[in-house]
Amino acid sequence: MIPDWIDIIFKAFWCGCAAMGFAILFNTPPRALFAIFLCGSLAGFFKFTLLLPDVGGGIILASAAGAVAIGFASIPVSHWRHIPPAVVSIPAVIPLIPGYYAYQTMLGLISFINQTDAALLISTAFNAAMTFFIILGISLGVTLPMLLFRIESVKKVNYSFPNWRKRK
């Protein structure tokens, strides 16, 4: 049995790989690729940590937290690599998209044609609702920094820590 934290690191690593794969599919500039890998891993780390039974965040909150992490990370990253934040955040949140719930929803709807069972309809509706709310949570999380700071462009945001030493 692998300890939980190693499992989380593995999953975070593969989330980063998935983010980078999609970044290449979307033809993102090469200078952004490593940053996207890091953002994807960060999101995976947050998501799977919150999903631990001891933390018990639930999948919606976990995905939203991952997306918030990407949203905030994309601002310094876009300064660092000189790219718009959406170019970083969209490939990075792709691993959070609830593919399995979406798949179960489709499969449930298809099975309902042959098998008119109320339990099947309920589980399909549950999967559809989960898909919808996870995507809603992700997109809210990604746009959260923009909404909080009412920014039109990240160029005007200064994320550097205040210079405490000078104040003495």
Partner 1 sequence: MRNDKSDEPARLGNLLLQTGVALIKSGAGSSRVITNISRFAIAYGYEANVDLGTRNISISLHQEARENIFSGSRSIATLPGANFKVIAVISQLSWDVVEKEISLEESAKVINHVFEIPTYKRPVILLFTGIAGSAFCYTFGGSALEMAITFLATVVGLFFKQELVIKRYNPFMITYGSAVLAAAVIGICWKIGVETNLDHAFATCILFLIPGVLLINSFIDLMDGHIINGIDRGINALMHAFWIAAGLSTVLYIFKIL
21 binds partner 1 (CB under 8 A): yes
Per-residue DSSP letter, 52: S
Within residues 92-131, the interface with partner 1 by CB under 8 A covers 93-95, 97, 99-100, 102-104, 106-107, 109-111, 114
CB of 76 to partner 1, least distance (A): 17
Q: How far, in whole angstroms, is CA 82 from its chain's centroid?
A: 21
How many other CB atoms are found less than 10 A from the CB of residue 67? 27
76 binds partner 1 (CB under 8 A): no
Q: What CA–CA distance (Å, rounded) separates 115 from 42?
A: 42
CB of 168 to partner 1, least distance (A): 35
Sign of CA dihedral 13, 15, 18, 24: negative
* Only segment of 53-61, 116-124, 135-143, 156-164 that touches partner 1 (CB under 8 A): 135-143
Q: How far is CA 167 from CA 140, 160, 161, 163, 164, in A?
A: 37, 16, 13, 7, 6
143 binds partner 1 (CB under 8 A): yes
Residues at the site binding partner 1, with contacts judged by CB under 8 A: 10-11, 14-15, 17-29, 32, 44, 82-84, 86-87, 90-91, 93-95, 97, 99-100, 102-104, 106-107, 109-111, 114, 135-136, 138-140, 142-143, 147, 152-153, 155
